[in-house]
């Protein structure tokens, strides 16, 4: 089964030539400049769309899809989410991971099981891992290299450096 990755949402039509305005969910907006194809979600089904052109003006991204030449034709895309498949996922720098790689990962500290990463909160200073413990509590751990001994996205296992979970204390 093909895996898809959310990268943007279409928020409106732009101009009269079939362009749509998007809000990027990517930390790398330059990733849009080389896109040739995307998938747009229609009620849980992903439909392939060929990208004809990508334009950026004043920090806002606009996409024109093949076979869409008017604002009326592009109008039904408003509100839809835009995905790429695995072949178009960008390569991250070392020690950087996609949120979907982190969610569901087991977290260990001092060979003790702490819980599972349930969410990643995005803040200006750094992200924060929300770890769901076995007893239903939440631990909040800053997502900084200084606290992480290792992470393996294939085995979904994160090992924290000793003492890292103390950062959750009030």
30-68: pLDDT as tens digits: 778 888 999 999 988 999 999 999 988 888 899 999 999
Q: Which residue has the higher pLDDT, 115 or 125?
A: 115
Strand order across the 128-132 sheet: 138-142, 128-132, 112-121, 106-109, 157-160, 148-152
Q: Which residue has the higher pLDDT, 96 or 77?
A: 77
100-168 fold: SH3 type barrels. (2.30.30)
Q: What is the pLDDT confidence band of residue 1, given thresholds at 50, 70 and 90?
A: low
Element (H, E) at 71: helix 71-74
The residues of the chain that CATH labels 2.40.30.60 are 4-88
Across residues 110-117, what is the average pLDDT?
92
Across residues 11-36, what is the average pLDDT?
85
Q: What is the pLDDT confidence band of residue 79, given thresholds at 50, 70 and 90?
A: very high
127, pLDDT greater than 90: no
Q: In the predicted model, what is the mean pLDDT of the chain?
A: 86
4-88 fold: Elongation Factor Tu (Ef-tu); domain 3 (2.40.30)
Across residues 127-136, what is the average pLDDT?
90
Instruction: Please work out, in degrees rounded to the nearest 5, the angle formed at the alpha carbon of residue 86 by the alpha carbons of 80 and 90.
Output: 90
170, pLDDT greater than 50: no
Question: Which pLDDT score is estimated for 51?
Answer: 93
């Amino acid at each position: 089964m093909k895996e898809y990755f959310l990268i943007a949402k279409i928020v409106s039509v732009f101009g009269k030539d079939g362009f749509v305005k998007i809000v990027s969910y990517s930390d790398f907006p330059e990733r849009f400049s080389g896109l040739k194809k995307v998938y747009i979600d229609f009620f849980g089904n992903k439909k392939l769309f060929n990208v004809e052109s990508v334009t950026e003006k004043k920090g806002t991204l606009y996409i024109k899809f093949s076979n869409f030449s008017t604002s009326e034709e592009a109008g039904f895309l408003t509100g839809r989410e835009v995905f790429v498949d695995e072949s178009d996922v960008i390569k991250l720098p070392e020690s950087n991971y996609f949120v979907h790689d982190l969610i569901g990962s087991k977290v260990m500290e001092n060979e003790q099981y702490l819980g599972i990463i349930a969410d990643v909160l995005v803040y200006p200073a750094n992200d924060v891992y929300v770890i769901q413990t076995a007893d239903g509590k939440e631990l909040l751990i800053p997502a900084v290299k200084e606290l992480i001994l290792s992470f393996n996205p294939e085995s979904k296992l994160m090992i924290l450096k000793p003492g890292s979970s103390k950062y959750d204390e009030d």
